[in-house]
Structure 1
Amino acid sequence: MSELRIRGLQKSFDGTPVLHGIDLSVERGTLLALLGPSGSGKTTLLRLLCGFERADGGSVEIDGRRVVGDDLHVPSEQRRIGYVPQEGALFPHLSVADNIVFGLPRAQRRARHRVAELLELVGLPGNFGERAPQQLSGGQQQRVALARALAPSPTLVMLDEPFSSLDAALRLETRQAVASALAATGATAVLVTHDQSEALSLGHEVAVLWNGRLIQTATPETLYRRPVTRELASFVGEAVLLPGMAIRDRVRCELGELSLSGPTGQGAVDVMVRPEQIRLLRAEERMPNGAATYDAVVTEVIFQGQDAGVALQLRSDARTMVRARVPGYLCPRPGEQVRLAVDGEVTAYARA
């Protein structure tokens, strides 16, 4: 597979800028998750890469070959990109096998070139080739769509929110099958999604688009633990933001003196703590390592099965509310007196 290089890519519609000078590199064999809220420009970027739209400026190179540049727009069919749309978009009048070979030369279509191999690759039995798409579940149809995208041995695979129409259990199963198939082929792929858990669980790297600008590209762990803005912190998972004062590599706030995960400006800051970092103890308990604990009252519990969201009011300042996330079997009851402490390092953002 290939590497992808994007430099200064720009696009406007009716005079309104949608993408502002995007710079992005995807290394060979990497699955990049392109994450962002609705309206951030994700779909526009995908359409420019696939050649469905013309860029207003900038360049795109796929495996060293320029496909977008000054007065250059290589047509979609000449870019050797595999494309998996949201709904799979299989042809209902063709069998699964004929869908898979649809984009191949005529001789390979007649021979049903690599159909059994591709079905096995995406985790489906070989006899599924004779079935009609309507006989498959939504997740199976998405796997067939991936097999079709991989059939011509593309240089790059683009996945446009391919799991968004699936229910939760099927979504997880299909994600794992798709990730395994891409890894088995060594594919370079870009997954477009607005689902944070999807991006963090599938991407080797995650690039975040925000109002048409690429604001952070990082490993999933770095993005989650050290998002570059407070807005991004609240978008990528749940965040507790508290006022504090940074002093060198420490920060003081209502939850005590905490270690910072990275350098920040000195002085007034907003401290970001993830809810799962907040440990809940019974009122008489203390942290084993002697760390400071703080009295709080449970005001609300949202039970979600495997875990639960817990809203807490600090006894030291009734105006300060925080949210913790605990295993479902350990969730307290509203009105219960608890003690809390913070595990691990936190991130801080300088106040303007």
Structure 2
Amino acid sequence: MSELKIAGLGKHFGKQRVLDNITLDVGQGSLLALLGPSGSGKTTLLRLLCGFERCDGGSIHIGGRLVSSPDVHLPPEHRHIGYVPQEGALFPHLSVADNIVFGLPRAERRQRHRVAELLEMVGLPASFAERAPQQLSGGQQQRVALARALAPKPALVLLDEPFSALDAALRGETRQAVAAALDASNTTALMVTHDQAEALTMGSQVAVLWQGRLLQVASPQTLYQRPASAALADFVGDAILLPGEAGNGEALCLLGRLPLLDDMPQGAVNVLLRPEQICLQPAGGSAPQAEVIDVSYYGHDASVRLMLADGSLLAARVPGHRSPQPGQRVSLSVEGAVACFAAPQQAQEASGGRGGLPAGATRLQHSPALFRHGS
């Protein structure tokens, strides 16, 4: 049974439709990452789940209980939801222990019920119980906020961009601690984020929300390798789109004859590659050739901008220790199978003139080779 079930959910503010027919199932003990740009409707969905707004259509069930529909609106305090905001929002005048038990019944607050257990669960020592929140790092405060959310044993935990205020060094460590705590407590969770790496790292499923509509709900691997559209491919990571011809399980494009993933369209297509699939070797042989235009070096890896023989530009991602020099000539090969999308005219015919892109998606401009950096 799904711990969280959203069916056909809709919300208007005046004449503006903010959420349109949202349907999601989040199973017991799993974490769904809701990914979308600013203005996509993520905050409105959280407010509907919490009970701060009424829905115009559809329904929300939590733990098998109907909590929201056009005719039913359970108050927030009766929904049994834990909430972790962006910056923890701990009470500065209370100790860590008192923050954790704040939402419990009075008797359990006095006993500091499960404080040591919850601190251990989020990866903090029991000795932190007597500290003030301001004596903790940002990552430690977020862990305390999660412990507070888990203390009442909620049916659902909502995480609202919980790592956005942390620096890069703390983000990875805190993500791991939060994921481990949710898993240990078998708690169902929905995390809202605009960070693609965060969504792919933490979610057992990722749902992409775009202008109030769900474009795709899939595992992180499926979303990255088989995005539902070219626009979605461009949003989730870095995308290279090359025109080509698909048939018999292969696609022929500027980078040669490439194996296709199963169930890809045939005929005129745009081939999707990820920059890390492009391998660079010393120039020579019959492989496609390119010139290195520039290199962005990040230490662990490097982004290499390349110009093909016909003047087309694309980018590759290589290990930092193997980054080439600008002006160098290289040969290109592609690792792994690739996805593809029906070319624009073919997609329009198949979709009745809508171009094959989901509602709310932005059409990409096609050229002999296109590299676009995901936001």
TM-score by length of 2: 0.90
Aligned to 1:344: 336
Question: Are the counterparts in 2 of residues 2 and 156 from structure 1 also a CA contact under 8 Å?
Answer: no
Question: Are the counterparts in 2 of residues 116 and 126 from structure 1 also a CA contact under 8 Å?
Answer: yes
Cα distance per residue 1:193-229 (max 9 Å; x no partner): 1101101111111111111111111111111001011
Q: Hey, what's the Cα distance between the residues in 1 that align with 2:160 and 2:227?
A: 24
Aligned to 1:154: 154
Aligned to 1:136: 136
Residues 178-197 of structure 1 mapped to structure 2, 5 A cutoff: 178-197=178-197
Q: Hey, what's the Cα distance between the residues in 2 that align with 1:36 and 1:262?
A: 27
Q: Hey, what's the Cα distance between the residues in 2 that align with 1:338 and 1:265?
A: 31
Q: Hey, what's the Cα distance between the residues in 1 that align with 2:325 and 2:279?
A: 15
Q: Hey, what's the Cα distance between the residues in 2 that align with 1:323 and 1:231?
A: 18
Q: Hey, what's the Cα distance between the residues in 1 that align with 2:119 and 2:208?
A: 32
Question: Are the counterparts in 1 of residues 55 and 70 from structure 2 also a CA contact under 8 Å?
Answer: no
Residues 213-224 of structure 1 mapped to structure 2, 5 A cutoff: 213-224=213-224
Cα distance per residue 1:223-249 (max 9 Å; x no partner): 100101111111111011111122242
Please report how far the alpha carbon of residue 87 of structure 1 lies from its aligned counterpart in structure 2 after TM superposition. Answer: 0.8
Q: Hey, what's the Cα distance between the residues in 1 that align with 2:287 and 2:108?
A: 68
Aligned to 1:335: 327
Gap runs ≥5 in structure 1: 287-291
Q: Hey, what's the Cα distance between the residues in 2 that align with 1:305 and 1:236?
A: 23
Secondary structure of the residue that 1:18 maps to in structure 2?
strand
Cα distance per residue 1:275-318 (max 9 Å; x no partner): 0000100114x6xxxxx621110001000110000011112x12
Aligned to 2:124: 124
Please report how far the alpha carbon of residue 2 of structure 1 lies from its aligned counterpart in structure 2 after TM superposition. Answer: 6.3
1:297 paired to 2:287: no
Q: Hey, what's the Cα distance between the residues in 1 that align with 2:223 and 2:323?
A: 28
Please report how far the alpha carbon of residue 267 of structure 1 lies from its aligned counterpart in structure 2 after TM superposition. Answer: 2.2
Aligned to 1:107: 107
Please report how far the alpha carbon of residue 144 of structure 1 lies from its aligned counterpart in structure 2 after TM superposition. Answer: 0.3
Residues 218-237 of structure 1 mapped to structure 2, 5 A cutoff: 218-237=218-237
Please report how far the alpha carbon of residue 20 of structure 1 lies from its aligned counterpart in structure 2 after TM superposition. Answer: 0.4
- Identity in percent: 65
Residue 283 of structure 1 aligns with an amino acid whose one-letter code is: A
Secondary structure of the residue that 1:72 maps to in structure 2?
coil
Number of equivalenced pairs: 344
TM-score by length of 1: 0.95
Q: Hey, what's the Cα distance between the residues in 1 that align with 2:109 and 2:125?
A: 20
Cα distance per residue 1:113-133 (max 9 Å; x no partner): 111110111011111111111
Secondary structure of the residue that 2:221 maps to in structure 1?
helix
Secondary structure of the residue that 1:4 maps to in structure 2?
strand
Aligned to 1:311: 305
Question: Are the counterparts in 2 of residues 51 and 75 from structure 1 also a CA contact under 8 Å?
Answer: yes
Question: Are the counterparts in 1 of residues 56 and 69 from structure 2 also a CA contact under 8 Å?
Answer: no
Gap runs ≥5 in structure 2: 345-375
Aligned to 1:289: none
Aligned to 2:65: 65
Please report how far the alpha carbon of residue 265 of structure 1 lies from its aligned counterpart in structure 2 after TM superposition. Answer: 3.0
Q: Hey, what's the Cα distance between the residues in 1 that align with 2:264 and 2:220?
A: 21
Residue 297 of structure 1 aligns with an amino acid whose one-letter code is: E
Residue 78 of structure 1 aligns with an amino acid whose one-letter code is: H
Q: Hey, what's the Cα distance between the residues in 2 that align with 1:260 and 1:19?
A: 35
Residue 322 of structure 1 aligns with an amino acid whose one-letter code is: L
Q: Hey, what's the Cα distance between the residues in 2 that align with 1:14 and 1:305?
A: 50
Residue 256 of structure 1 aligns with an amino acid whose one-letter code is: G
Please report how far the alpha carbon of residue 33 of structure 1 lies from its aligned counterpart in structure 2 after TM superposition. Answer: 0.6
